[in-house]
Structure 1
Amino acid sequence: MKENGLFLNITSLEQRLKDLQQYAAEDADPTGESWLGSQEEVRQMLQELHLAREELRRLNGELQTTRQTAAEARARFQSLWESLLDRGVLAGPAAPEAEEAPQESWANLLALFNILEDFLFVLDPEGRILQVNLAVQERLGYPPEELWGLNVLQVFPPERQGEAAAVLADLAAGFNQPFPVPLLSRDGELIHVETKAAKGRWGRQEIVLVICRDITPRKLAEAHLRHREEQLRRAQKMEAIGQLAGGVAHDFNNLLMVIMGYSELTLNALGTEDPLRKGAEQISKAAARGAALTQQLLAFSRRQELRPQILDLNTVVADMEKMLRRLIGEDIELVISLTSDLPRLKTDQGQMEQILMNLAINARQAMPQGGKLLISTAQAALNGISCKNFPEARPGQYVCLAVADTGVGIDTALLDRIFEPFFSTKARGVGTGLGLATVYGIVKQHKGGIQVESEPGRGATFKIYFPTYAGKAAEKPEGSALLAAPLGRGERILLVEDDDAVRDFMSTVLEEHGYQLFPAASAAAALEIFQKEQGNFHLAFCDVVLPDKSSLQLVEDLLSANPGLRVLLTSGYTDQRAQWPLIRSRGLPFIQKPCNISDLLRALRIALGENL
């Protein structure tokens, strides 16, 4: 069998090792240390080369060589080459002059180089390229004749060439630690590599070998990891802000409960012509606006009670069209594009309307000179890769709500902050800074995802994904006229509320409407009153979060003593401490703060078993 250039190269390398072995025997320590190592190590390398040549000869004789076997052989040579380089075979003192012609010597050397998957450059001492291997040609796109004679710095980005020169000088001087330096392919693509370099000789020719290993996959993996870490950091930041916002909303709701309640009592006591009535009405309206703000905070912090129902998003959008047109004004064109046969959602309709309103208001403020607002719906499928951008989402079928405007757009540097509460790019006094934060909270609470695409001067597009529901839409119940607020009939109520102002207000209102009140500021005080009155109560009206005990534990204690006792729970929000899933699973009545007097009185009668 005729031996090809690869076998000739192995033979040449074997001869070089034998020459080096003889050289080491004649002068074991020419530089003060053994640069080649023991002769036993050289004999071991020769034996490995011999075995490798026999393996290649066998593989060359097999017509049905598999790609896997070839890859193993290639990896074996790769490892052997790196071992030779690390041991300094090509970086030691001058070897005896090669007998073969330079062209044949380069051919044999190149045959070995072409086995390598790394990018390899053979340079003269001035850094000019003498030869490259196949990897440079195939993966960087440079024909050899285009590089011959050029300085190797030409394959690095222009702005990094100074850095590359310093790195290569350090590497060639013996500081042979991998150092990431990007290469520039012929078509302008940056390829991240780790570079090693070594000085040596081939015959009379002094050379510098530069080996660049492609680490692009590792860089991509690192970038993906950084992206996931940034997602986690952002999620933790938003969660922390949400906890703060939810806590503020809870405390604020207690204040609003008192303000709204007493303003309502005042208005009921004042005549229509009373000069104090206008002021009382303004107090009531301001409290209502405050309640709306706290609802947005609760939506952002995902502590708002959901009232899910099966609905068609197209119907929600269509029903709001008239209101949205009035909201954005006549100088903005509203275009609605709805995909037919859209899958149903199981969601809170009020929150869907809140999303549409907030995004429409945001778009209007981004188009002060007018423009176009496009609202569309579509079906979408999210796979595992897509869901990586939406931590709460899971692969499956979704409905996409897209809201796009032709406004001023959003600076890329601000995109990561637009969902933070109270963050706003608008002028002082324009908006509350809660619009997009509310949208973010609602979407997360529905296990969906939100995506923003925007550039300055090119508008913004918000795409929101909601998981679909396989069931059918429920029929709407027939409406009924509102009834007057029902009065009590002397029922005994154990009121458990830790906020003094709220407790005093509720006691006043309920006593005025026909109930007997026994107020308590804690679970311990409530149990003491309950035992003193021998459990003679019709209803326990408890705040969900108490300072000394869970309201559910308190309710269990009360029900164990009086199984016929009715229960009504209330809170400014329903967080984890409130054990809302247990409240829902047990079907306990609940009313959210703040509420008006009429709603409070109705909730009491329903909790007492009346059908209103």
Structure 2
Amino acid sequence: MVSLPPQTGLGPNRRAALVAAVTGIAASGLVLGMIGDIVVAAAFLAAAIIVIGAVIVWRLLARAGSADLRTIDWDFTRAVAQASGDAIAVTDRAGRLVCANDAYDAVFSGFPTPPGLPLDASGVVLLAEAGRTAWRDGHAQAERLVANGLRISASITRAGDEADMLVWRFVTAPDYDLAQTAERLIDGPTGDRLGGSGIMAALLSADGRVRATNRVLRVRAIGDEHEAIEGRDFARFLITDNRGLVRFAREGGAGTPLRVVQVPFVEGDDAPVLVILLDDEEDAPAIGASASAHVRSLVSLMPFSMALVDREGRFIQMNDSFLRAAGVVGAAPPLYPGDLVVREDKTAVADAIRRFAGGQTHSTDMAVRLKDHPDEPVALTIAGARGLGDAAVLLSLKDNSEESRLKREVAQATKMQAVGQLAGGVAHDFNNILTAIIGHCDLMLMRHSPGDSDYDDIQQIRTNSNRAAGLTRQLLAFSRQQTLRPQILQLPDVVSEVSNLLKRLMGETVRLDMMHGRNLGPVRADPGQLEQVVVNLAVNARDAILSANPRGGGTLTITTRSVSATEVRQMASDILPVADYTALIVQDTGTGIPPEVLPKIFEPFFTTKEFGKGTGLGLSTVYGIVKQSGGYIFAESQPGQGATFTIFLPVHAAPAAPRLTAPKPAAKPADLWGTGTILLVEDEDMVRAVAERALTRQGYSVLTAENGEVALEIMAKNGRPDLLITDVVMPTMDGPTMVRHAREKYPDLPIVFMSGYAEEQLRKSIDLDNVEFLPKPFSVQQLAEAARDVLAAR
């Protein structure tokens, strides 16, 4: 701050007041002398006093305003910040970075403005929240931040004479390497204290080479405590006799037998190993009380869970990590390890501890279920611990619930993928069968008029075949192999299109609520398929509501809202990538989904409805459509509290195209008669037969082949056909390979591919131009129209 210097004599305010006062008194005296009215003179004097006060106030305000001007010496501020080894930055009320030291530049690789620093996703959120707290409370902390691989903590303080600045102080936390810490302990005074109690300790790398040993071990192993042992193969210092006893190689067969204890240490394939060596003489004195205290201190400091058990199978000691892993923090510690596990695992744990207490040397892992959370098994490591006083067995618990969850999710995803492939293959084969059935029905209907006795039966067969074709389309939807026609659209428009249908489906007993958020991003999907998704979810919700309350009274809520990338990042989902989404949420007040059923609801043919009342393809179709549209679907439910299905569709980056009124398609001529030679390639005899008859009836000359090789032989013998209609998947030589060979000789040969798989999937694998696609199952008329249209276009 810069202050104004003091002044002597009359200040400007006093001089102005004195002049105004003298002038006011003189003027009032003159008025009194002229008119002789004392009231008027007094009024004139009062007006003069008011003017004097106004002048004084104006001068004081002017001086106060000039005093508010301040100057901040940022060079001095930065010099002070440079004196600190921590990263320091200063931001103003507008959030601008106004000062930072070199340490700030080194930590963050430049001068980014906090809280927008190169931190992990959660760190940015924590730092922003701390900044807001500092503005409100004057100070805030943010811990466990990671920037450029460094762990840092932040301290934010509101500063400035007007409290309009934030000082950000970032302290780099030293990396804590457990292996290095153990290495220093073993090679230092702690290792000497252990050696004084007869405990030899060594830290080995994953390949068995020495990283550190205490002094007594070096003396016993190589004879000189000052000789370097680091980097040497530890196994070369030990020998084993015919009885399996371990001794130092330097001491030979007459040396003292050793008990080797491998302590569970750091996890990972490349993790170091902590090895304890103890003299194993039968008549050796028991380990001293001081050494036992050292061992207990070492166990209590271990960052992984560890417990000591005596020969009777009772707990001697449990460190804090073991208590947390066992879920007994704050409760009375158990007496026996079996008290931690469920009844079914008590015997196995007791037997294993008895074996190791009796002399078994190697360690073992076993999966057990704890009483507090029996649904998630944990790994219990058991190892012998001879020579540690009363301790006979070492125990370690590893919570593998997260690993088990990931395994279940991978298994579920693998199963869904396998079932999807199976469903797609079954649908493809059924489409071939249905093509033949529908085709023969069409051929028979050509010979019967509506009045014939067989006409209705044939029509009924055709109708049921079309229903079966609808089921195969659902199977293809689940396996993500159906044909989609994606458009850029808004989810509220899709919901509005089916709102009237939904109201009829819900009936009078179920209330339908729809809520739409603002600023929803456009999505790219097939509107017809999305409508099917909404209808399928709504029908399932209605059935659940009526099951919970047959008389009605439930509510179905459909909501659309935008989900930003920040929200997705905060979800910390392992499945949902970080991006902007538009969400469709379908929530009901029905019976809910039992936990044992929830993982299976998207599997095809799985249904909880009564026999004959459900195909089990509703939710599997929803799953397939959502996944094929690039989205994600999640189901949440609590028994008796309804279910919630949330669909996340990625926001389409390109702007939505303006809506245009599509021109009405021109009416196709009713005459399907044609001429020319058609080469028909199909490996299914029944499909090939019905297609040949259908095309022959329309006037075409038809050549048939059962695979690609035969088709090429026919073209080599008969020349170029006018049209080639071929299946895609065939034995020996598939359709696309055969077409490539044919196009080498006849580049302009028109092609029609027919297949029961999705057109999008086929076009990704077929790198051919100017080809048409005819999905199975197709009718005789659709086959004739496809042939006529392609030939007419050529």
TM-score of the two chains, using structure 2 as the length reference: 0.57
Aligned counterpart, 2:493: 315
1:169 and 1:259 map into 2 onto residues whose CA distance is 76
Mapping of 1:445-524 within 5 angstroms?
445-474=628-657, 475-480=659-664, 483-488=667-672, 490-498=674-682, 499-513=684-698, 515-522=699-706, 523-524=708-709
**Matching residue within 539, 550, 563 for 2:734:** 550
C-alpha distance 330-493 of structure 1, shift in aligned 2 (>3 A): farther
1:141 and 1:504 map into 2 onto residues whose CA distance is 70
Question: In the TM superposition, what is the alpha-carbon distance from 1:551 to its structure 2 partner?
Answer: 2.6
Question: Do the aligned partners of 2:487 and 2:527 also contact (CA within 8 Å) in 1?
Answer: yes
Work out whether 1:417 is the aligned partner of 2:417. no
Question: Do the aligned partners of 1:254 and 1:572 also contact (CA within 8 Å) in 2?
Answer: no
C-alpha distance 11-129 of structure 1, shift in aligned 2 (>3 A): same
Which structure 1 segments of 5+ residues have no match?
1-6, 21-36, 52-73
TM-score of the two chains, using structure 1 as the length reference: 0.71
C-alpha distance 459-585 of structure 1, shift in aligned 2 (>3 A): farther
Mapping of 1:284-323 within 5 angstroms?
284-323=462-501
Question: Do the aligned partners of 1:155 and 1:183 also contact (CA within 8 Å) in 2?
Answer: no
Question: Do the aligned partners of 1:493 and 1:541 also contact (CA within 8 Å) in 2?
Answer: no
Q: Name the structure, 1 or 2, with higher relative contact order (CA <8 Å, separation 6+).
A: 1
CA deviation map 1:70-112 (0-9, x unaligned):
xxxx99xxx999644x4247x86452897xxx7x787666555
Work out whether 1:434 is the aligned partner of 2:617. yes
Question: In the TM superposition, what is the alpha-carbon distance from 1:492 to its structure 2 partner?
Answer: 0.7
CA deviation map 1:487-519 (0-9, x unaligned):
256431414043444444444444554x42323
Which of the pair has more CA radius of gyration? 2
Identity score, percent = 28
> Match of 2:644, SS?
strand
Letter in 2 for 1:296: Q
Question: Do the aligned partners of 2:311 and 2:357 also contact (CA within 8 Å) in 1?
Answer: no
Work out whether 1:571 is the aligned partner of 2:755. yes
**Matching residue within 416, 423, 448 for 1:242:** 423
C-alpha distance 264-580 of structure 1, shift in aligned 2 (>3 A): farther
Question: Do the aligned partners of 1:503 and 1:519 also contact (CA within 8 Å) in 2?
Answer: no
**Matching residue within 449, 458, 477 for 1:270:** 449
1:94 and 1:421 map into 2 onto residues whose CA distance is 69
1:488 and 1:583 map into 2 onto residues whose CA distance is 29
C-alpha distance 195-414 of structure 1, shift in aligned 2 (>3 A): same
CA deviation map 1:142-168 (0-9, x unaligned):
899977xx8455973474665554443
CA deviation map 1:395-428 (0-9, x unaligned):
5333333333333333333334333332322212
Question: Do the aligned partners of 1:263 and 1:281 also contact (CA within 8 Å) in 2?
Answer: no
- Give the length in aligned residue pairs: 539
Aligned counterpart, 1:3: none
2:518 and 2:422 map into 1 onto residues whose CA distance is 39
More helix by share: 1
2:716 and 2:299 map into 1 onto residues whose CA distance is 92
**Matching residue within 41, 44, 53 for 2:220:** 41
Letter in 2 for 1:355: V
Question: In the TM superposition, what is the alpha-carbon distance from 1:305 to its structure 2 partner?
Answer: 2.3
C-alpha distance 136-46 of structure 1, shift in aligned 2 (>3 A): farther
Which structure 2 segments of 5+ residues have no match?
1-187, 201-215, 231-264
**Matching residue within 716, 723, 726 for 1:539:** 723
> Match of 1:552, SS?
helix
1:412 and 1:145 map into 2 onto residues whose CA distance is 29
Aligned counterpart, 2:543: 365
Moved more, 321-330 or 113-122: 113-122
1:128 and 1:545 map into 2 onto residues whose CA distance is 68
2:272 and 2:781 map into 1 onto residues whose CA distance is 87
Aligned counterpart, 1:402: 585
1:257 and 1:477 map into 2 onto residues whose CA distance is 35
Letter in 1 for 2:612: G
Work out whether 1:168 is the aligned partner of 2:353. yes
2:733 and 2:722 map into 1 onto residues whose CA distance is 22
> Match of 1:307, SS?
coil
CA deviation map 1:19-44 (0-9, x unaligned):
x9xxxxxxxxxxxxxxxx99952896
Aligned counterpart, 2:774: 591
Question: Do the aligned partners of 1:418 and 1:424 also contact (CA within 8 Å) in 2?
Answer: yes
2:765 and 2:217 map into 1 onto residues whose CA distance is 76
2:283 and 2:330 map into 1 onto residues whose CA distance is 29
Question: In the TM superposition, what is the alpha-carbon distance from 1:254 to its structure 2 partner?
Answer: 1.9
Aligned counterpart, 2:433: 252
2:348 and 2:461 map into 1 onto residues whose CA distance is 68
Question: Do the aligned partners of 2:680 and 2:692 also contact (CA within 8 Å) in 1?
Answer: no
Could you say what the CA RMSD is over the residues aligned between the two structures, in angstroms? 4.8
Moved more, 480-489 or 286-295: 480-489
1:243 and 1:607 map into 2 onto residues whose CA distance is 28
Question: Do the aligned partners of 2:198 and 2:278 also contact (CA within 8 Å) in 1?
Answer: no
**Matching residue within 275, 278, 282 for 1:87:** 278
Question: In the TM superposition, what is the alpha-carbon distance from 1:320 to its structure 2 partner?
Answer: 1.0
Aligned counterpart, 2:626: 443
Question: Do the aligned partners of 1:486 and 1:605 also contact (CA within 8 Å) in 2?
Answer: no
Aligned counterpart, 1:348: 526
2:190 and 2:636 map into 1 onto residues whose CA distance is 57
